Amino acid sequence: MSELSDLIPVEAVRLDVAAPDWQAAVRLAGDLLVATDVSTDTYTEEMLRNVEENGPYIVIAPGFAFAHARPSPAVRRTGMSWVRLSTPVSFGHETNDPVHLVVALAAQDAGAHTQAMGALARLLADPDTSAALEHAPTPQALRRILAGDTEPSDAGPDEPAAKGSGHGMHKILTVCGNGVGTSLFLKSTLDKVLDRWKWGRYITTEATDTISAKGKASEAVAIMTSREIARTLGDVGVPVRVIEDFTSTKEVDAAMRDLYDV
């Protein structure tokens, strides 16, 4: 978990600050990336444009927005920032507004931050850890929480058989606008469910973007994504499951049980 805390230095954390709207909240997170020499102001504009073009799909859990854009020359190195708002703001998400936490990611490539995303997803999915992060009094205290880890486990069904598919190795796509941020969060949560069920030998998962997903859909048994991205994808020939909370193993578990009729 040290990689996650390394990506979020004390200087990249601001707690209980005010922002009048979602744009200002994202700019606060972007300013911290600039201040820690992770990215330039151009990347902050790219994060804002991502929401303007693709909708508020970055609000991946109740109260939590994961701001990011595609890897670009505006990213100097992979890093993250953490902004906890004193008063929540609306991003326009149907179910997860208002937002009180904005975490921003600037990634140099699509794979550099995968482990950190998985670590953060696990922390936010744990109620006790999530509550501790919400009430951390200082940036130093927050980073100490980020350095911890929990990994509960339970049992699941024995073998998958998706509705309308045969046996053998299956693939499930997790999809977002850029393929490097929120889709990795959802992939991590899905992987956690598969680990609990001991289905890793039956199902592979892949995080991807909306454009690539349309071409890869024929390889998959299902797609998991946000409501906004599901609308963008339309009919891709395989089941599309909308997940409202990308950190919720309970919600992903329920979607998997519906998909595999267990």
Please state whether beta strands 170-176 and 203-209 pair in parallel, antiparallel, or not at all (unpaired). Answer: parallel
> How far is the C-alpha of 68 from the C-alpha of 113, rounded, in Å?
12
List Cα–Cα distances, 72 to 3, 46, 55, 143, in angstroms.
22, 9, 20, 27
CB 91 within 8 A of CB 182: no
Question: Which one of the listed residues 68, 93, 100, 113 is annotated catalytic?
Answer: 68
Tell me the helices (H) and strands (E) count for the chain, helix number first.
10, 9
List, as one string, the DSSP characters of 74-93: TBSS-EEEEEEEEEEE----
Sheet of 99-106, strands arranged across: 13-17, 79-89, 99-106, 64-67, 59-61
CB 112 within 8 A of CB 78: yes
> How far is the C-alpha of 24 from the C-alpha of 15, rounded, in Å?
15
Helix spans in 11-81 (H): 22-35, 41-54
> How far is the C-alpha of 3 from the C-alpha of 112, rounded, in Å?
11
DSSP for residue 71: -
Q: Is 68 a catalytic residue?
A: yes
Length reported for the chain:
262
Catalytic residue ranges: 68
